[in-house]
């Protein structure tokens, strides 16, 4: 059968969830994947990076507690960490995920999906076999992103990259940075975003001497400014050579097994075994047939709040997850998948969409107002919603309240000499929180309470009645609220 209600191209976490939601609504679904079901997230991004980062965090947490510290003096066992990582990526075998997809009743097709005019998708398998599918209701593009390499002299595929890096320098991207099985003695990491910070932390902990080249004035600059300061201090404390305001100007590897030399813009030079570029992402839309429906190949897909792509006659095309550039995070893409799946099902059934309801089933409103993110370095950085500066730039009248996390009993029990900070940003006109940020060891699990407060627009007066348990780190909420009330 080559006619389906819905065709999903790309079986990363987002495509899998669009397929699942459409199946749950009783629609027939084809899910097309040209590499591995589970996508970048499962094999070369979230899961392997977190598997690499958890052992050093556990060790650092133990070493921060007198009594435990004495028992935790040894070195990280890199081989065991890499082996544990391998088990978290199922040894790069997607059989389990394919079984899960099939258990939903969706048909899983292995091959490269390309749109071929309205509501039609061709699937080309590795042997060149071709199948043409038609969609009665919707095609959802969930093809994600690949690493974007800068246009530097020495990098052959300047301006793009990802799966097949340059033959000479053989730059690492997130793929090698999460899947390598050998620890390089010296590693340069270029970038100051979450990928750079997480992978610099991980490889330093595994035994590399890491140099982090950040062209801006700080790392993680989309979060509150104090986050970058704490994280830089943590990276330096772990031994990473963090160089701010520094850019690579040229890279070269003269002998196949020799080192990479990196010429810096300020005239300096580095010699490393490998260089990892964590310089952002580009959408995988260059070869998916966008031109056959009047869109430009290589562009991010512009979508409305139901994730429907604009400018396509008949409104049958959706762009969900990283590919729409709304929030490049797995959990947010899966949220969009739940929204898009519900919208596709409603439109297929001729049920009016709850478009006027910002917080209804068919609008991914949280993408604008309440995106949570945790960067799993040491200390951890966690935020939801807007920073104070972003809120002000959006025209809100806000007040930011800060709290030293080390002054909270739960934090001082968590680790001796605990260092961390929290900020909540209150919209003074509506008396609700529009942003919350934490930085410090172990703060990741504090974040969801903040996400509930921001997404649910809980009034500050009512938060006063949400009493945190003593002596947990969550008592930071009480301190923040006391700070706000004065």
Ligand X SMILES: Cc1cc2nc3c(=O)[nH]c(=O)nc-3n(C[C@H](O)[C@H](O)[C@H](O)COP(=O)(O)OP(=O)(O)OC[C@H]3O[C@@H](n4cnc5c(N)ncnc54)[C@H](O)[C@@H]3O)c2cc1C
Q: Look at residue 280 and give the partner it binds from ligand X, ligand NAD, none, a contact being a CB closer than 5 to 8 Å depending on partner kind.
A: ligand NAD
198 appears as a binding residue in the annotation: yes
Q: Look at residue 215 and give the partner it binds from ligand NAD, ligand X, none, a contact being a CB closer than 5 to 8 Å depending on partner kind.
A: ligand NAD
**443 lies in the binding site for ligand NAD (CB under 6 A):** no
Q: Look at residue 211 and give the partner it binds from ligand NAD, ligand X, none, a contact being a CB closer than 5 to 8 Å depending on partner kind.
A: none
334 appears as a binding residue in the annotation: no
According to CB under 6 A, which one of 212, 231, 278, 388 is a site residue for ligand NAD? 278
Comparison of 164 and 254: residue with beta carbon closer to ligand X:
164
219 appears as a binding residue in the annotation: no
Question: Shortest approach of ligand X to residue 29 CB, angstroms?
Answer: 14
Phi and psi based region of residue 4 (left: phi greater than 0; alpha: psi -120 to 50; beta: remaining):
beta
Binding span for ligand NAD by CB under 6 A among 34-42, 259-267, 276-284, 312-320: 276-284
In sequence order, what are the beta bridge partners of 124?
112, 130
Question: Shortest approach of ligand NAD to residue 190 CB, angstroms?
Answer: 5
Q: Look at residue 235 and give the partner it binds from ligand X, ligand NAD, none, a contact being a CB closer than 5 to 8 Å depending on partner kind.
A: none
341 appears as a binding residue in the annotation: no
According to CB under 6 A, which one of 131, 215, 243, 263 is a site residue for ligand NAD? 215
Contact 241, 210 (CB under 8 A): yes
Q: Is 389 exposed, middle or buried (0-12, 13-18, 19+ CB in 10 A)?
A: middle
Residue 77, token pair as written in the block: 């066992």
Phi, psi of 209 (to 5 degrees): -95, 110
350 appears as a binding residue in the annotation: no
Comparison of 234 and 333: residue with beta carbon closer to ligand X:
333
- Identify which of 53, 33, 19 has the alpha carbon closest to the alpha carbon of residue 441: 53
Residues numbered 324-383 forming contacts with ligand NAD, rule: CB under 6 A: 328-329, 373-376
d(CA 341, CA 17): 8
29 appears as a binding residue in the annotation: no
Q: How far apart are the first and last CA of the chain?
A: 67
Question: Shortest approach of ligand NAD to residue 165 CB, angstroms?
Answer: 15
Residues at the site binding ligand X, with contacts judged by CB under 6 A: 9-15, 32-35, 39-41, 45-46, 49-50, 112-113, 142-145, 174, 178, 195, 284, 288, 321-322, 328-331, 333
Comparison of 378 and 479: residue with beta carbon closer to ligand X:
378
**191 lies in the binding site for ligand NAD (CB under 6 A):** yes
280 appears as a binding residue in the annotation: yes
Comparison of 44 and 414: residue with beta carbon closer to ligand NAD:
44
Pairing type for strands 3-9 and 29-33 reads: parallel
50 appears as a binding residue in the annotation: yes
38 appears as a binding residue in the annotation: no
3-19: b or e for each residue (b if 16 or more CB lie within 10 Å)? ebbbbbbbbbbbbbbbb
Contact residues for 53 (Cβ-Cβ < 8 A; gap 6+) = 198, 201, 202, 205, 376, 377
| Residues found near ligand NAD in the complex (CB under 6 A) | 150, 190-196, 198, 215-216, 247, 278-281, 328-329, 373-376
Which residues fall in the annotated binding site? 50, 113, 191-198, 280, 322
Binding site for FAD: which residues? 50, 113, 322
Q: Per the annotation, where are the binding residues for NAD(+)? A: 191-198, 280
């Amino acid at each position: 059968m080559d006619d389906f209600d819905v065709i999903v191209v790309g079986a990363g976490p987002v495509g899998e969830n669009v397929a699942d939601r459409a199946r749950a609504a009783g629609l027939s679904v084809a899910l097309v994947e040209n590499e591995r079901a589970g996508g970048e997230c499962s094999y070369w991004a979230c899961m392997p990076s977190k598997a690499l980062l958890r052992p050093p965090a556990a060790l650092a947490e133990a070493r921060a507690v007198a009594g435990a510290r004495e028992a935790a003096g040894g070195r990280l066992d890199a081989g065991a960490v890499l082996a544990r990582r391998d088990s978290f990526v199922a040894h790069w075998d997607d059989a389990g995920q394919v079984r899960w997809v099939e258990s939903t009743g969706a048909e899983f097709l292995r091959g490269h999906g390309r749109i071929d005019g309205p509501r039609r998708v061709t699937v080309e398998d590795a042997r060149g076999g071709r199948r043409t599918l038609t969609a009665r209701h919707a095609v959802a593009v969930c093809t994600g992103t690949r690493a974007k390499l800068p246009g530097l002299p020495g990098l052959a595929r300047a301006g793009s990259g990802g799966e097949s890096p340059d033959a000479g320098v053989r730059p690492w991207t997130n793929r090698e940075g999460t899947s390598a099985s050998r620890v390089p003695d010296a590693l340069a990491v270029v970038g100051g975003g979450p990928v750079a910070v997480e992978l610099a932390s991980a490889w330093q902990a595994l035994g590399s001497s890491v140099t982090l080249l950040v062209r801006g004035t700080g790392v993680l600059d989309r979060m509150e400014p104090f986050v970058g300061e704490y994280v830089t201090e943590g990276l330096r404390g772990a031994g990473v050579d963090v160089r701010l305001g520094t850019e690579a100007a040229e890279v070269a590897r003269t002998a196949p097994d020799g080192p990479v030399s990196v010429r810096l813009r300020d005239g300096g030079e580095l010699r490393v075994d490998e260089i990892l570029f964590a310089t952002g992402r580009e959408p995988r839309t260059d070869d998916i047939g966008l031109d056959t429906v009047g869109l430009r190949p290589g562009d991010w897909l512009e979508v409305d709040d139901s994730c429907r792509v604009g400018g396509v006659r008949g409104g049958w095309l959706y762009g969900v997850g990283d590919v729409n550039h709304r929030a490049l995070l797995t959990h947010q893409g899966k949220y969009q998948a739940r929204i898009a799946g519900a919208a596709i099902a409603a439109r297929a059934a001729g049920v009016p969409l709850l478009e006027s309801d910002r917080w209804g089933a068919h609008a991914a409103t949280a993408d604008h107002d309440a995106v949570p993110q945790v960067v799993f370095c040491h200390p951890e950085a966690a935020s939801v919603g807007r920073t104070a500066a972003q809120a002000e730039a959006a025209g809100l009248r806000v007040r930011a309240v800060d709290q030293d996390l080390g002054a909270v009993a739960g934090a001082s029990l968590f680790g001796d000499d605990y260092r961390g900070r929290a900020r909540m940003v209150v919209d003074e006109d509506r008396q609700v929180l529009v942003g919350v940020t934490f930085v410090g060891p172990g703060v990741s699990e504090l974040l969801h309470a903040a996400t509930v407060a921001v997404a649910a627009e809980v009034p500050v007066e009512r938060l006063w009645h949400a009493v945190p348990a003593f002596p947990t780190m969550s008592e930071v909420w009480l301190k923040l609220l006391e700070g706000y009330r004065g």
